[in-house]
Amino acid sequence: MIDEISQRLLDRSHPMRIHLLGVAGSGMSGLAALLLEMGHRVSGSDRVTSRETERLQRLGLEFSSPHSAEVICDVEMVVYSSAIKPDNVAMVAADRVGIPQLRRAECLAAILHTRKGVVVSGTHGKTTTSAMCAHVLKKSGRAVSHYVGAEIPVLGANAHWDEESNYLVAEGDESDGTLAIYRPSHAIVLNIEEEHLDFYNSLEEIVEVFRTLVEQTSEKVIYCAENVVARELCREFEGALSYGWDDADFTASDVTEGRGVISFTVWRRGEKLGRLELGIPGRHNVLNALAAIVLADDLGVDFNLVARSLASFAGAKRRFESIYLSSRFRIIDDYGHHPTEIEATLQTARSLNPERIVVLFQPHRYSRTQRLAEEFGAALQEADLVFVTDVYPASEAPIAGVGGNTIVEAAERQGETRCVFHKDLATVHHLVGNILQPGDLLITLGAGNVHEAGRKIADDLTLLEALRSECGEAELDARLYESMRRHTTMLVGGPAQFWVEPRTFPAFVRAVDFFKERGIPLRVVGRGSNLLVRDGGIRGAVIHPAKGEFGEVAVEAELLTAGAGARFKKVASVAEAAGLGGFSWMEGIPGNVGGGLRMNAGAMGWETFDQVVSIMFLDEDGEIRTRSRAEIEASYRNVPELRRNYALQVVFRGSPAGAVEIREKMSESRNHRRDTQPVAASAGCIFKNPDSIGAGQLIDELGLKGRKVGKAEVSAEHGNFIVNRGKAQANDVLQLIEELKAEVKEKRGIDLETEVQILGEDQVSF
């Protein structure tokens, strides 16, 4: 059947009408490109669109989503990927009317058999090596078609049909046994290891598939002598060509690794061919390059042309692909999902001399995770810190007791590298991005969608590094995904997308302008004593002015000047040391000056604005201005001026007082707080006091003290406090707030209004 289809594909006078199921995948999109460029009428469907489907539509692909029975109307042949289930509506419809259906590999074989085929095979390294082979032949002036398993920048696309070509370089997939259907002129065998154990029962079964391939190769078998299984299989075939470090037909010596490149000398049976610099790093890629060199040599390509070609090779997408690079951080994405691949990738990463190698690994398939857990654990010891997500199942059903934590447990048995399990891929980038330190190299590893996490970190790092550059590192600290649990007295809340700590007033101004100019929402947060952040965190920037100028407090005569980030306790302490009275009540306030100004905080009969002389602030127009107390409207827990503007510094007025008097009042403030407020983590008063009765008294009278939701509880000491009795979630607190409001409304007819500020997203959205 395949030979018959090969003949039909060559008949340009009668183009075929072909439909591809699962066309958005890399393998199927490559087939679509070949068939379109061969002149056939091609349609395709998938559950999703992608950049590839959009590109193919520009080439003429008739694309539809989702799959439907209607897509096979007037179709002569249906090609389907391994991800397509037998109950797919289009497959069922094709069965009903008797339309021929081919697996992806069968269609590729039909195309391959129209030319001299070069099949690159192996458990790993196929994409990079097949891309190298195609690139070398093209750069040497040969007309060549190619089909590889990823986007290849230097080739322009993952597949291309050249009508003038004699050769088609193709990546051969061994995962489902279809490697055995190819009849190439050249077969390259990179390695043979235990893999795809969801399909095969043993290594011996895998070897038999490779044996069939090499037996059906008409001209040359090329193999890596460094892989024992490949060597044992291939060396028995007459005329087979080997490559490796030594004891092979083609060898490499004097390997020198640089930053992002690697150079080596090539020998052919003891004859020096010359020195070559490869445009991608890694000793494993030296072996991959040797495979391309052997092929080119057999086809009569001059070595100098080969050397120039490989120097310009830029690698495949998701094959040690650099997706972010700055003076502080580097992020690499790699498709490696087998222990041998991971070991090679981490060795290459180490050659770049990072301070630390941080790995985010997504295991691929339950069967592979179960069978090779110990090998994964050993391979990951090459990293300094490892994060593991749950398994990307592909088409597999879960296996009881097998998951990402299986890898973590194996890593702990294998060595001392710290390994952390985080089940949810959607949020793991928060954990990883937050721990990155200058000099780190982050690698996202896996054949699933783990690269999405790396891209998110890269995108956000790009913006943060631009902020650092604009403001100056000496004046500002900034990091990604800072947990708001660390910065609220309630100890709840998700991460802040961008966390910024300016040390100077000008840096604060520049940071505010930076985010506003880019349309990025921003919040200014102090100590978080009157703040409740939702579990989804805060999208955009959180500016935390606490250090440098913002934390300074100074006294001159009866005036005390404090930065917005200074804690009230510090203000009270400095005033006491200077013999300045009127500030003792601040001893009992847990927040800082900026937050106190914004809400006109108070205690023991005092309010913040009772002592304000003037405030310096950043206004809505980006100007720093100073206003006197008389120019600022302030009422109970409300200062409208500071809802639009950002306080930077305040001048308070006190009065001289004796040390004993101040000390007694400080003690009174401390005792009052201790006697009337809970010691446990809280956000202060949750509700504003209604006109008729205090909120705490109201909640007490209704018997609501001790009410719980999860680890959030109404304090037994004060009814207007909700305390965190453990690892409470913000959602626990919010649900408890709603329950209290509903019960008070039902039983007393009073609408409670929250005093605590509630910020952030219900669910993670960044």
Enclosing H/E stretch for 234: helix 228-234
CB 414 within 8 Å of CB 381: yes
d(CA 727, CA 263): 54
What domains are there in the chain, each with its CATH number? Answer: 2-103 (3.40.50.720), 115-311 (3.40.1190.10), 321-459 (3.90.190.20), 552-674 (3.30.465.10), 683-759 (3.90.78.10)
pLDDT < 70 positions in the chain:
316
**Residue 742 φ/ψ, nearest 5 degrees:** -65, -40
Other Cβ atoms less than 10 A from the Cβ of 622: the count is: 12
Asked whether the beta carbons of 492 and 729 are under 8 A apart, the reply is yes
pTM for this one?
Answer: 0.77
Beta strands 418-421 and 495-502 are unpaired
Distance set, CA 44 to CA 20, 62, 173 (Å):
4, 6, 21
> d(Cα 284, Cα 353) in Å, to the nearest integer?
17
Q: How far apart are CA 443 and CA 205, in angstroms?
A: 33
pLDDT at site 268: 95
Residue pointed to by tokens 């690794």 = 257
Enumerate helices (H) and strands (E) in the chain, giving the number of each. Answer: 23, 40
Phi/psi at 522 (5° precision): -140, 150
Measured at the CA of 615, the angle between CA 613 and CA 619, to 5 degrees, comes to 155
CA distances (Å), origin 259, targets 63, 263, 278, 300, 310:
42, 11, 11, 32, 16
What stretch of H or E contains 9?
Answer: helix 2-10
Q: Which amino acid is at 286?
A: V
The CA distance from 320 to 328, in Å, is: 19
Tokens of 189: 């065998």
Q: How far from chain centre, in Å, is Cα 545?
A: 28
- Report how far residue 34's alpha carbon sits from residue 470's, in angstroms, rounded to the nearest whole number: 48
Q: Given its phi and psi angles, is residue 553 left (phi above 0), alpha (psi -120 to 50 degrees) or beta?
A: beta
Give dist(CA 186, CA 365) in Å, integer. Answer: 31
Q: Which of 517, 487, 519 is nearest to 500 (CA)?
A: 487
Cβ neighbours around 590 below 10 Å, total:
19
- Gap between the Cα atoms of 680 and 715, Å rounded: 9
Task: Name the 3-class secondary structure at 249.
Answer: coil
| Helix 51-59 × helix 26-37 angle, to 10° | 10
Listed residue (286, 278, 282) closest to 351, CA to CA: 282
Q: Cα separation of 215 and 142, whole Å?
A: 27
3-state secondary structure 380-402: HHHCCEEEECCCECCCCCCCCCC
Dihedral angle computed from the Cα positions of residues 487, 491, 497 and 501, in that order, rounded to the nearest 10 degrees: 0
- Residue position matching structure tokens 């002036």: 141
Q: How do residues 247-281 score in pLDDT, each as one tens digit?
A: 999 999 999 987 778 999 999 999 999 999 998 88
Cα separation values, 444 from 61, 330, 340, 455, Å: 32, 11, 16, 9
Q: What is the pLDDT of residue 316?
A: 67
Going by C-alpha positions, the residue among 637, 486, 646 that lies closest to residue 563 is 646
pLDDT of residue 553: 96
Is the separation of the CB atoms in 485 and 752 below 8 Å? no
Beta pairing, strands 101-103 & 553-556: unpaired
10: phi > 0 → left, psi -120 to 50 → alpha, else beta; which? alpha
User: What are the strands of the beta sheet with 418-421, ordered from one edge?
Assistant: 321-325, 329-334, 440-445, 356-361, 385-388, 418-421
